[in-house]
Amino acid sequence: MSDYQYPRFQKGKLVFTELSLHERLLKALSALSFEKPTPVQAAAIPHAIAGEDLYIIAQTGSGKTAAYVLPTLQRLLDDDSKPLAPRALILSPTRELAQQIHKDIQDLARFTFLKSELVIGGEDFKVQAAKLRKNPDIVIATPGRCLEQLGAGGLDLSTIQTLIIDEADRMLDMGFAEDVLTIAQACPEQRQTMLFSATTGNAGLKRIIEQVLREPRWLELDSVRDDTPAIRQQVIAVDDNAHREALVKWLLLNECQGKAIVFTNTRVMADRLNGVLRAVEGLRVYVLHGEKDQKDRKLAIERFKQGGSGVLVATDVAARGLDISELDLVINFDMPRSGDDYLHRVGRTGRAGGEGVAVSLVAPHEWSLMSSIERYLRRQFERRVIKELAGSFKGPKKLKASGKPVGAKKKKDDKKKIKRPKTPKPAARRKPAVPKGEVVTSSDGLAPPKRRT
């Protein structure tokens, strides 16, 4: 795999010192060994420091967190007002992502006096309120708990200068649209808002953009669909669950020196597989899914992160926001239900310029779903057979031009499953033809959406 390029982190000649960042932030960047801004950082930071509203399409793993944290810290350092309430609010769809953002802020703000605090579910409400009384500069929140603290008077958003909505598409998928709008309404109208999304989303995202952002600058980095070149993506045809389990064990024992995540579609399957893998000598196995309480989830992530090797069995809840370095294998125990879920799963590997392998185990009934995902990503996965464990299913004998097996029924909801992100109309008009991989920026041509907050 040494011939793999790491395009996301090798492009561009810009260095951080050219981005008008405070020397304390530059010191933190050098302590973290971040030498050059990633494309999303290079594109976003100057506009964000200038106080513009931004709508950015960038994937987890692109360095998007620092792309909004650095300018936010810079603006806080430049601001002399000392309000008794937070000045920046970051909304995250999941607790895990919020914790990751909190850690990134601590790393980047380590040579400043700026402080951040988490407002997420699963943690003691009163302890959280007490922490908020210490006036953190930045609050990182999940929408539900944010509204609860707001309602209880524990959180005051009247002094927010910067609102960041991270993984907005996921936020909407999880049903947080109204919560996000309510929270935005609780922030002052005169504020900066930055919205990040991995996909161009649907009508729901467009509505949020229109209501929450003001004359946003639209930045689209490499489309998510093109942005996984450092990951080898393979499929193995499987007969049944017993065959899947045997393959997972083989892959973990033979092809993974470091860390791996095995994704399952259901919690029940995650628990079952956890049991199966724990019985395998030499594997350190943890499980992560939505039914585990917050303490267990935190512990599983911490333990998994520590040490050089380990296996995390997880459902999609865990896919978002997890930033685990040295993750070299992702296994889809079963096929994810949509192209975007697939991307979020495989995006766990090959991060920060590293290389990775993603293997999907595909049973006969999943073949057409798999080929729909291939079409969505505009790439063909490598077909693979593990000799020792070759099954009787070798993939469909005859394929339609679409790649689906002959005889596969055209399901009514097939379209629904593979949601192609619809480019919002105004943005499509503004999108100039640029070579793939270039950053597209524009702020003109967009009918200035009125902020109704």
Write the single-letter amino acid at 382.
E
Using CB under 6 A, pick the residue from 38, 94, 332, 338 that binds ligand AMP: 38
CB of 100 to ligand AMP, least distance (A): 7
How many CB atoms sit inside 10 A of residue 152's CB?
11
Ordered strands of the 138-141 beta sheet: 116-119, 138-141, 88-91, 162-165, 192-197, 54-57, 217-220, 440-442
CB of 197 to ligand AMP, least distance (A): 13
Cα dist from 186 to 150, 168, 342, whole Å:
9, 18, 35
Under the binding rule (CB under 6 A), the answer on residue 323 touching ligand AMP is yes
Binding piece for ligand AMP, criterion CB under 6 A, among 60-68, 153-161, 361-369, 443-451: 60-68
Binding piece for ligand AMP, criterion CB under 6 A, among 33-41, 129-137, 280-288, 398-406: 33-41
What x-and-dash track marks residues 341-370 binding ligand AMP by CB under 6 A? Answer: ----------xx------------------
Phi, psi at 208, each rounded to 5°: -60, -45
CB of 335 to ligand AMP, least distance (A): 25
Using CB under 6 A, pick the residue from 65, 92, 349, 372 that binds ligand AMP: 65
Query: How many residues sit close enough to ligand AMP to count as binding (CB under 6 A)?
Result: 16
* Lookup result for tokens 């000598």: 281
Cα dist from 67 to 18, 116, 179, 248, whole Å:
14, 17, 24, 36
User: What is the Cα–Cα distance from 69 to 90, expressed in whole angstroms?
Assistant: 9
Cα dist from 240 to 277, 365, 385, 437, whole Å:
17, 10, 15, 40
CB of 258 to ligand AMP, least distance (A): 15
Using CB under 6 A, pick the residue from 21, 34, 251, 260 that binds ligand AMP: 34
CB of 408 to ligand AMP, least distance (A): 36
For ligand AMP, give the closer residue by CB, 66 or 187: 66
CB of 319 to ligand AMP, least distance (A): 12
CB of 201 to ligand AMP, least distance (A): 18
**Length of the chain (residues):** 453
CB of 77 to ligand AMP, least distance (A): 19
CB of 62 to ligand AMP, least distance (A): 5
Residue 412's Cβ-side half-sphere holds a number of Cα atoms within 13 Å equal to: 0
For ligand AMP, give the closer residue by CB, 96 or 366: 96
Query: Could you tell me which residues are beta bridge partners of residue 249?
Result: none
CB of 55 to ligand AMP, least distance (A): 17
Residue 205's Cβ-side half-sphere holds a number of Cα atoms within 13 Å equal to: 27
Binding piece for ligand AMP, criterion CB under 6 A, among 59-67, 128-136, 212-220, 337-345: 59-67
CB 69 within 8 A of CB 43: no
Using DSSP's 3-state secondary structure scheme, residue 223 falls into coil
Cα dist from 387 to 26, 193, 234, 247, whole Å:
51, 53, 15, 11
How many CB atoms sit inside 10 A of residue 132's CB?
19
Binding piece for ligand AMP, criterion CB under 6 A, among 57-65, 119-127, 194-202, 302-310: 57-65
User: In 3D, which of 135, 89, 91, 92 has the Cα closest to residue 113?
Assistant: 135
Phi, psi at 279, each rounded to 5°: -80, -10
Using CB under 6 A, pick the residue from 39, 47, 56, 62 that binds ligand AMP: 62
Phi, psi at 357, each rounded to 5°: -125, 135
Using CB under 6 A, pick the residue from 37, 93, 154, 339 that binds ligand AMP: 37
What x-and-dash track marks residues 253-292 binding ligand AMP by CB under 6 A? Answer: ----------------------------------------
CB of 5 to ligand AMP, least distance (A): 16
Using CB under 6 A, pick the residue from 25, 57, 66, 317 that binds ligand AMP: 66
* Lookup result for tokens 């958003």: 157
For ligand AMP, give the closer residue by CB, 12 or 395: 12
For ligand AMP, give the closer residue by CB, 70 or 370: 70
User: In 3D, which of 159, 114, 126, 123 has the Cα closest to residue 141?
Assistant: 123
Binding piece for ligand AMP, criterion CB under 6 A, among 63-71, 135-143, 201-209, 293-301: 63-71
Return the H-helix or E-strand segment holding 329.
strand 327-332
Using CB under 6 A, pick the residue from 24, 47, 55, 61 that binds ligand AMP: 61
Write the single-letter amino acid at 239.
D
* Lookup result for tokens 């405070």: 22
Q: Tokens in use for 395?
A: 């993939």
Residue 308 region by backbone torsions, left for phi larger than 0, else alpha for psi between -120 and 50, else beta: alpha
CB of 60 to ligand AMP, least distance (A): 5
State the residues that interact with ligand AMP by CB under 6 A.
Answer: 9, 34, 36-38, 41, 60-66, 323, 351-352
